Amino acid sequence: MIELFRSNDPIELSWAQAVLADEGIDSHIFDYHASIIEGSIGALPRRLMVDGDAESRAKYVLDVARRELDEHDAKRDASDAMPSE
């Protein structure tokens, strides 16, 4: 298993798993139980892992998805900043 990234943000981890699952890439979150034991104060990040042979594709898929999300957010922010007529 290869670590794609680590995060204390359960929403980011869930989003990344959903994106990978949509592309047929299996992923696993490591250290989930350790972060629960420490009391959910966010001190221990969880790791998103994939099989070694899926690493490059998984990184590419997440990179594209993050860019699309950033573009969507930028468009939304721009439309929110425009004055209403």
Angle at 44 between CA 39 and CA 50, to 5 degrees: 125
pLDDT of residue 36: 66
Unique residue bearing structure tokens 């998103």: 48
Catalogue all structural domains in the chain, each as residue range(s) with its CATH number. 2-81 (3.30.70.790)
Residue 2's H or E segment, with its range, is strand 2-7
Which amino acid belongs to residue 65?
A: A
pLDDT of residue 79: 78
pLDDT tens per residue, the chain (85 residues)? 999 999 989 899 999 999 999 999 999 999 888 766 666 666 788 999 999 999 999 999 999 999 999 998 888 888 777 666 5
pLDDT of residue 43: 74
pLDDT of residue 39: 65
The answer to whether the beta carbons of residues 13 and 29 sit under 8 Å apart is yes
Question: What is the per-residue DSSP string for 14-25?
Answer: HHHHHHHHHTT-
